[in-house]
Structure 1
Amino acid sequence: MKPRIIDLFCGAGGFSRGFKESGFNIVFAIDNDPACGKSYKTNFPEAIVLIDDIKNVSGSDITYFTQGKYDVVIGSPPCEPFTGANPNRERDPLDRLYKDPIGRLTLEFIRIVGELKPKVFVMENVPAILDEPIRNSLIYEFQYVGYNQIYFNVLDAEKYGTPSRRRRVFISNVPINPKPVKRLIRVIDALSDLPPPSQSNIPNHEYVPISDKKMKKISRLRHGKALYYYYGDSKVLPNFIKLDPYRIAPTVLGSSRFIHPFENRLLTVREQARLMGYPDDHIFFGGKDQQFNQVGESVPPTLSFAIAKFLMETMFK
């Protein structure tokens, strides 16, 4: 029997996608965004998808919906309270976890894990969630719900077949150490076989409108340079980056837009999804900004697949 998966804060299903392709059975997912829920249900019709605030849901509710034991709980609580890209994050690190209402959603993930007691849990977030003393607090919270061994697995998505850079931590009760791929995937490798948007019926592959003024500025950009730079709490971040075709793309974010390496236009949602390792049959719903957010705020399916394959081989043989 296939191991059963529950996905909390499921988004459009990037995290789940790799697990499904590795042989896991996706049985339940929850997100509070209806557009994410529609995207998820379309891509995982076998799963029960609940659109609700996770604070309103208990482990017994999930058990009622799906009638069974769960082997793995995965999820990606929002990273905004922790990331240095957020200019408004709390000064005190502990306030990011215990005071910020969005940061407290991480505690809701831990609560449900404690109520369901899966064999394995995997919680994804930005490495800044490991800032002290948040790291020790997470250990305490997971121990409080019954998990004494906690591992902070920091992985780089580009080492596992993702055409863009992305360093994330996967907090789990087991060590996760997948084998990297032998060759990095460049932007040109990811995008070169896509037809122009005007000549395609590939889902989510439509032109993104842009003003003539921005178009002129874009035409003068060199590869690797950005049209805008903005300040986070601890870093300066570029936006409207003209991609270098012979390098790995920068980190894809929900708020970021990339410029095509050879054409004076923004990437389509599908092209941006390609840079996250999504296959073309993974569909995104909602407005354009919602679709870009679903792509940029997800776990790359290529990285998820590496994690799931490792767990399947080490924990579920």
Structure 2
Amino acid sequence: MKPVYKYIDVFSGAGGFSLGFHLTGRFKSLLAIDNFKPAALTYKTNFPHALVVNEDVKELDKELLTGMVKPDEIDVIIGSPPCEPFTGANPMRKKDPLDRLYSDPMGQLTLHFIRIVGYYRPKIFVMENVPAITEDGLRDALSIEFKRVGYEKIYFNALLAEDYETPSHRKRVFISNIPITPRKSSRRITVKEALSDLPEPGEAFPNHERPPDPPWRKLKRIHRLRWGEALIHYHGAEKSLPNMVKLNPNTIAPTVLGSSRFIHPFEDRFLTVREQARLMGFTDTFVFIGGRDEQYNMVGEAVPAPLAKAIAWYLAGKLDEEVT
């Protein structure tokens, strides 16, 4: 019987990253940390065996953390510090890339992830973020910070979620002390396939209530949209970005973000939270706690579960090699 490896999830959000690890049957979450109460409640609901700490990570020192979970109890640390300081979708992003890490209070949270990795010195750590976290000196800065806590070699693993059977596009970098190269799937799961077997909104199904209809004028515009067209555009730091896109049923969906709202390909309405969660590969048994907008945000800010699962299988293989 193969061993079950233990891990900590820092900046866990609702638990998309952890869900992928859980689905392999090879990992057990001992501790999750997130300061957003609906996310912490969602995590605890779906992973009742885990200790969930709903606190600001800056307030958690070594004595407190290692008193809850000892360093020799864990094998892996995973986590997703906020991407807002780094992403080009943020119009308030600082101009100097290093300021995004060292001056922006949210960017500094990445350094707190590294601090916690240093407390535990796990066999493997994996930190997820947007590719822009590697731009213009940030890659070297992060390598230096991880070296300070004992990791000489750092790898910046860029992966596409759709390569691992996620029904939406998402490119993310997974920073780790090992190269991470899961086997890609040859399948692409389309929007139509992802949504096809769901019941009508409002039926007894978790997080599947029909969203409020938009105002009449906006509804008329929605009706005229073609597949792939957006109702609105907003300006990020680098370019104009679409929102309220009418999904093309025959392709994967665009990137799901916390602010994303998608229009159903065949009906003049927004997707339900459950439909949006399907686009991120969440299982239907995964329940989101909180208000509707909070639920949408938790879905959009997660690591897609199929991608997380592929990473987890890869890590389990590497850890098995150490055991044997």
Query: 1:4 corresponds to which residue?
Result: 6
Q: What is the TM-score when the length of structure 2 is the normalising length? A: 0.96
Query: 2:190 corresponds to which residue?
Result: 186
Of 120, 140, 143, which residue of structure 1 is paired with 2:147?
143
Deviation at 1:2, TM superposition (A): 1.3
Q: Distance in 1 between matches of 2:153 and 2:98?
A: 21
Query: 2:117 corresponds to which residue?
Result: 113
Structure 1 residue 81 and structure 2 residue 94: aligned?
Answer: no
Of 20, 26, 29, which residue of structure 2 is paired with 1:26?
29
Tell me if the contact between 1:3 and 1:316 (Cα under 8 Å) persists in the aligned partners.
no
Query: 1:42 corresponds to which residue?
Result: 45
3-state DSSP class of the match of 1:87? coil
Which string of whole-angstrom CA distances, capped at 9 and with x for unpartnered residues, describes residues 148-171 of structure 1?
A: 010000000000010000000000
Structure 1 residue 237 and structure 2 residue 241: aligned?
Answer: yes
Of 166, 173, 181, which residue of structure 2 is paired with 1:169?
173
Deviation at 1:235, TM superposition (A): 2.0
Q: What is the TM-score when the length of structure 1 is the normalising length? A: 0.98
Aligned pairs (5 A) from 1:1-317: 1-22=3-24, 23-67=26-70, 69-198=73-202, 200-209=203-212, 210-317=214-321
Q: Distance in 2 between matches of 1:277 and 1:235?
A: 28
Q: Distance in 1 between matches of 2:11 and 2:182?
A: 23
Q: Distance in 2 between matches of 1:59 and 1:3?
A: 22
Sequence identity (%): 57
Name stretches of at least 5 consecutive residues in structure 1 with no aligned partner.
none
Deviation at 1:278, TM superposition (A): 0.4
Q: CA RMSD in A?
A: 0.9
Deviation at 1:58, TM superposition (A): 2.3
How many aligned residue pairs are there? 316
Letter in 2 for 1:15: F
Letter in 1 for 2:62: G
Letter in 1 for 2:7: I
Deviation at 1:66, TM superposition (A): 3.0
Deviates more, 1:210-219 or 1:5-14: 210-219
Tell me if the contact between 1:48 and 1:66 (Cα under 8 Å) persists in the aligned partners.
no
Tell me if the contact between 1:59 and 1:116 (Cα under 8 Å) persists in the aligned partners.
no
Deviation at 1:65, TM superposition (A): 1.5
Deviation at 1:132, TM superposition (A): 1.6
Which string of whole-angstrom CA distances, capped at 9 and with x for unpartnered residues, describes residues 174-195 of structure 1?
A: 1100001121100001001111
Deviation at 1:316, TM superposition (A): 2.9
Which string of whole-angstrom CA distances, capped at 9 and with x for unpartnered residues, describes residues 269-316 of structure 1?
A: 000000000010001111111100100001001000000001101223
